Structure 1
């Protein structure tokens, strides 16, 4: 039985991804993960997980079992409250902000990989994807700032590259990709969508469709790389 697993199903992009995957009718079972374990559109099975609790991720993997053809990590944090905001200067760096950003944006997805990569089929095509951000690209960084967020997304990109290299030896048909959804009208981006005039703003449903189109077009040569919503590569 082919399965798809979406982490972050209670978020704007995650919920839209679950609905889009259900609509495709490609998988026999679709799992929708959230902290509450209750966010599941019709046609999906809910499960609970916490990015900061490895035991909860391991428990979810044990419940879901094997033959997972798609794992999509649609989680992330950019800001939250007065003590956790993107830094405009290096003078505003704070150890607690770094710890929180890395726990959610890098360590959490790494632990998902630890427990879910073994569930991918060994001889069939499978995809492990996670949401990255263009600002996590070292090569594309022209403005600076946003230190903790940029660094945590850059770390995520490296983790995914590592996954891709290792899976070539054990799962030769698997593809690992970092995907940037563009600027999407969600709670995460809401405080910052007015910062650049004229930027293209997607609805979560639009972003989900574009991301799944990118996934459908990924080849083995694309594994370990980052791509935007339009399928264009993003340099690490």
Structure 2
């Protein structure tokens, strides 16, 4: 497991927000950050605990407004939502299998949802020192890295998320020049997320993936904002 000693690049006593905190990766993020001696507090939001629906503009806006009214600002925001299998529908193997409603569901959760999160929560980023907003993408969302085809809806939704993240990073940097807004590939994580579509021997444990991703975020500078990085720190082509 990667040695994660804490987010030392953020202000001491930093405040973190984890969206999708009841999921496998989101829960691991929350646990790791709570154990970070440099962290002051962690706010967790999820559908199962708080009724937080990342796909619903009103739900996301209400959650952000509540935090804003409490006067909270965050040094670290992690959007750990997303799914490969939605309502029992897994990734397509061929273009013949495309279904409009299934594709729309992929975009709603994996692209539009994080866009809403950026819309409502980015204004809550601290402007006192470095601040980070990270979205969970996937290597299969890379157009340049696509050598196998298939998984069209999921790939396309993640490619859209990458563009949303990069475009948002440019805008956010104008008001928060010390911000780092990036997309992260967590690897094939053993959370049940893949629904059996990835090989067991290729998977890593949530805690290991999260420790590595947090270490990557700790090492990124504002010059890296708008980038797409793997859990091992390697940049991924668009």
TM-score clears 0.5: yes
Deviates more, 1:223-232 or 1:24-33: 24-33
Structure 1 pair 72–49 and aligned structure 2 pair: CA distance change class (3 A): same
Give the match for residue 110 of structure 2: 105
Give the match for residue 125 of structure 2: 120
Q: Distance in 1 between matches of 2:24 and 2:83?
A: 13
Give the match for residue 26 of structure 1: 38
Higher RCO (C-alpha 8 Å, min separation 6): 2
Q: Distance in 2 between matches of 1:123 and 1:171?
A: 9
Q: TM-score, normalised by structure 2?
A: 0.89
Structure 1 pair 104–171 and aligned structure 2 pair: CA distance change class (3 A): same
Counterpart among 21, 31, 53 of residue 9 in structure 1: 21
Structure 1 pair 81–52 and aligned structure 2 pair: CA distance change class (3 A): closer
**Higher share of residues assigned strand:** 1
Specify every segment of 5 or more residues in structure 1 that has no aligned partner in the other structure, as ranges: 38-46
Please report how far the alpha carbon of residue 63 of structure 1 lies from its aligned counterpart in structure 2 after TM superposition. 2.0
Please report how far the alpha carbon of residue 123 of structure 1 lies from its aligned counterpart in structure 2 after TM superposition. 4.2
Q: Distance in 1 between matches of 2:52 and 2:58?
A: 9
Give the match for residue 56 of structure 1: 59
Please report how far the alpha carbon of residue 61 of structure 1 lies from its aligned counterpart in structure 2 after TM superposition. 1.1
Asked if structure 1 preserves the Cα contact closer than 8 Å seen for 2:19 and 2:46, the reply is yes
Q: How does 1:181-192 map to 2 (within 5 A)?
A: 181-192=186-197
Asked if structure 2 preserves the Cα contact closer than 8 Å seen for 1:2 and 1:67, the reply is no
Q: Distance in 2 between matches of 1:127 and 1:139?
A: 26
Give the 4+ runs in structure 1 shifted more than 4 A.
none
Asked if structure 1 preserves the Cα contact closer than 8 Å seen for 2:55 and 2:108, the reply is yes
Give the match for residue 48 of structure 2: 36
Calculate the aligned-residue CA RMSD, in Å. 1.5
Give the match for residue 213 of structure 2: 211
The secondary structure found in structure 2 opposite 1:187 is coil
Asked if structure 2 preserves the Cα contact closer than 8 Å seen for 1:61 and 1:115, the reply is yes
Give the match for residue 67 of structure 1: 73
Please report how far the alpha carbon of residue 162 of structure 1 lies from its aligned counterpart in structure 2 after TM superposition. 0.6
The secondary structure found in structure 2 opposite 1:158 is helix
The secondary structure found in structure 1 opposite 2:30 is helix
Asked if structure 2 preserves the Cα contact closer than 8 Å seen for 1:48 and 1:60, the reply is no
Cα deviation digits, residues 136-178 of structure 1 (max 9, x gap)? 0001000111000000000000000011111121110000010
